[in-house]
């Protein structure tokens, strides 16, 4: 036999061995799977829907249907990485069946979507996982109590619908937990108002769970400014130690329809601590402080129809303030009148736009006001005056390290180009203008036409870069934090996560 023939036989033998190997392996697969094919994955579905809404401590009945071709061996559930255990299969078909799994919502579950994962496994080890969503909601309760004279604490598990005005009388305390939601019904004749009269309101939320007081019409997306009254928080001038409220991470929406025409009307309070509070689309004033002493920080007024901050016959300190006016409401966003000394640092006041309207001013300091000090701030995009001063006493009144720009777009030619113009609109108008604008130690920067801080415009109070200045407000006293920059926003935007933008969306 020649070499060529031997070579062919060797090749043929190797080919035959390879075919035999494939045949043997195929037979083994055929024997294992009992049909010559690989069964599909198990089927797992929710025939009555893949979500269910319920409250804490209640049961969500989850209907499950499965179908397998290789017999079911296990069905398990888990939530957030926590094993909820195996679901018993006794009495159920090994191929196809329907069952109900009752899931009890934990009392501490967060409101919102709670995913539950179900995994089915068949005899061949094949698996299928599907997710069911338990929507954890709060129940709606009506609150019709007219006078509170004891300790009343609202539940975090419920949304409260206030059907009448509430007075917190002496001996009474109303406590609203983090995440609390209060809906005021619409009553145009007698707008719902929450009043302190010897008692105390405690509303202390968090950035993750702010407390919201709003109109019931937010449920139908028809809420409007003035749908309800807001707050009348009275102190006691004869008892300076009486503190009628504590507000932290609170939103007050669509108020200002009541007697005092304010979202927050605070009167005769010896100390007014507020921290992270927003008034939103008030029909009139946002924060109205009258005849008292105030200390508030990280507060913002969004699209209120009159002054965002009205300080009358009051004295005190404020830091990190924002007013964001979407439209020209013909008023001024900061209004100071009456006696008392007012010191403000790190404010950002943004108007409707230099060419959007005629009468809106950034601030107005009346002739009857007490000493006024204004540091490290931004006033921009106002069709009227940036700051209108009707009083000035050298050594008492100060505007320093402040940026004022894009002011008075509707003025006649030539008016306002002089920083000391007596008639409007001007960046700073009124008494002491040369003092404010020309003394270098006050370091104010003014430009009628141009943006001095990129990122600040009629739609934004957050700068692209933090504008540093050479003054630290912490030198003013214990109340003030170190913030050697202009405006209310530093390295961290403190409005994120709990406040609303003008478009109604959470600021993220």
Report the pLDDT value the prediction gives residue 424, as an integer from 0 to 100.
59
Q: What are phi and psi of 314, to 5 degrees?
A: -130, 165
Structure tokens at 331: 């008023």
pLDDT digits (tens, 9 = 90+) for 469-500: 999 999 999 999 999 999 999 999 999 999 99
- Tell me which CATH code domain 43-136 carries: 2.60.40.10
Report the pLDDT value the prediction gives residue 423, as an integer from 0 to 100.
57
In this predicted structure, the answer to whether residue 389 has a pLDDT above a threshold of 90 is no
In this predicted structure, the answer to whether residue 12 has a pLDDT above a threshold of 60 is no
Contact 184, 227 (CB under 8 A): yes
Structure tokens at 148: 């509170």
Containing H/E element for 310?
strand 309-312
Cα(153)–Cα(144) distance, rounded to whole angstroms?
A: 14
At 202, is the pLDDT very low, low, confident or very high (cuts 50, 70, 90)? Answer: very high
Q: For the chain, how far is it from start to end, CA to CA, in angstroms?
A: 86
Report the pLDDT value the prediction gives residue 8, as an integer from 0 to 100.
40
At 47, is the pLDDT very low, low, confident or very high (cuts 50, 70, 90)? Answer: very high
Contact 252, 284 (CB under 8 A): no
Contact 401, 487 (CB under 8 A): no
CA angle 245, 499, 272 (to 5 degrees): 25
DSSP 442: G
Contact 115, 129 (CB under 8 A): no
Cα(323)–Cα(388) distance, rounded to whole angstroms?
A: 17
pLDDT digits (tens, 9 = 90+) for 65-121: 999 988 999 999 999 889 999 999 999 999 999 999 999 999 888 889 999 999 999
DSSP 412: P
Q: Which residues contact 77 (CB under 8 A, 6 or more apart)?
A: 83, 84, 85, 87, 101, 103, 116, 117, 118, 119
Q: Which residues contact 310 (CB under 8 A, 6 or more apart)?
A: 262, 285, 286, 287, 288, 289, 290, 335
Between residues 60 and 396, the one the model is more confident about: 60
For the entire predicted model, the pTM comes to 0.81
Cα(485)–Cα(161) distance, rounded to whole angstroms?
A: 43
Question: What is the number of alpha carbons within 13 Å of residue 93 lying toward its C-beta?
Answer: 11
Mean pLDDT of 320-349: 94
In this predicted structure, the answer to whether residue 17 has a pLDDT above a threshold of 80 is no
3-state SS of 18-63? HHHHHHHHHHHHHHHHCCCCCCCCCEEECCCCCEEEECCCCEEEEE
Q: Give the number of other CB atoms < 10 A from CB of residue 412.
A: 10
Nearest to 336 by CA among 421, 397, 402: 397
3-state SS of 60-125? EEEEEEEECCCCEEEEEEEECCEEEEECCCCCCCCCEEEEEEEEECCCCCCCEEEEEEEEEEECCC
At 412, is the pLDDT very low, low, confident or very high (cuts 50, 70, 90)? Answer: very low
């Amino acid at each position: 036999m020649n070499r060529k023939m031997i070579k062919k036989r060797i090749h043929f033998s190797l080919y035959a061995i390879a075919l035999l190997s494939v045949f043997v392996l195929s037979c083994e697969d055929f024997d294992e799977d009992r049909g010559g094919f690989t069964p599909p994955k198990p089927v797992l579905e929710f025939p009555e829907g893949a979500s269910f809404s319920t409250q804490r401590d209640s049961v969500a009945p989850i209907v499950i249907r499965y179908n397998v071709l290789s017999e079911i061996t296990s069905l398990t559930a888990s939530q957030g990485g926590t094993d909820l255990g195996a679901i018993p299969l006794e009495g159920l078909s090994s191929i196809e069946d329907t069952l109900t799994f009752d899931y009890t919502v934990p009392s501490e579950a967060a409101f919102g979507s709670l995913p539950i994962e179900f995994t089915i496994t068949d005899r061949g080890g094949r698996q299928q996982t599907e997710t069911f969503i338990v929507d954890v909601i709060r129940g709606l309760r009506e609150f019709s109590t007219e006078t509170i004279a004891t300790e009343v604490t609202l539940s975090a598990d419920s949304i409260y619908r206030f059907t009448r005005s509430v007075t917190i009388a002496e001996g009474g305390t109303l406590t609203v937990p983090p995440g609390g939601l209060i809906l005021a019904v619409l009553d145009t004749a007698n707008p719902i108002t929450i009043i302190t009269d010897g008692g105390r309101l405690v509303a202390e939320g968090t950035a993750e769970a702010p407390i919201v007081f709003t109109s019931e019409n937010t449920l139908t997306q028809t809420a409007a400014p003035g749908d309800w009254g807001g707050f009348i928080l009275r102190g006691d001038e004869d008892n300076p130690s009486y503190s009628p409220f504590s507000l932290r991470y609170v939103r007050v929406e669509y108020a200002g329809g009541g007697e005092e025409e304010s979202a927050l009307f605070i009167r005769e309070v010896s100390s007014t601590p507020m921290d992270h509070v927003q008034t939103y689309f008030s029909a009139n004033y946002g924060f109205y402080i009258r005849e008292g002493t105030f200390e508030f920080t990280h507060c913002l007024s969004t699209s209120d129809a009159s002054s965002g901050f009205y300080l009358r016959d009051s004295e005190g300190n404020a830091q990190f303030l924002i007013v964001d006016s979407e439209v020209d409401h013909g008023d001024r966003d900061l209004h100071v009148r009456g006696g008392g000394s007012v010191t403000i640092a790190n404010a950002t006041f943004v108007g409707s736009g230099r060419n959007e309207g005629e009468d809106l001013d950034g601030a107005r300091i009346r002739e009857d006001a007490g000493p006024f000090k204004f540091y490290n701030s931004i006033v921009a995009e106002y069709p009227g005056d940036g700051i209108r001063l009707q009083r000035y006493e050298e050594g008492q009144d100060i505007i320093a390290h402040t940026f004022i720009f894009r002011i008075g777009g509707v003025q006649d030619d030539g008016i306002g180009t002089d920083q000391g113009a007596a008639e409007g609109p001007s960046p700073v108008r009124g008494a002491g203008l040369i003092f404010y604008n020309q003394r270098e130690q006050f370091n104010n920067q003014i430009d009628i036409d141009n943006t001095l801080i990129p990122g600040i415009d009629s739609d934004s109070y957050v700068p692209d870069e933090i504008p540093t200045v050479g003054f630290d407000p912490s030198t003013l006293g214990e109340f003030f934090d170190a913030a050697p920059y202009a405006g209310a926003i530093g390295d961290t935007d403190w409005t994120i996560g709990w406040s609303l933008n003008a478009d109604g969306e959470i600021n993220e």
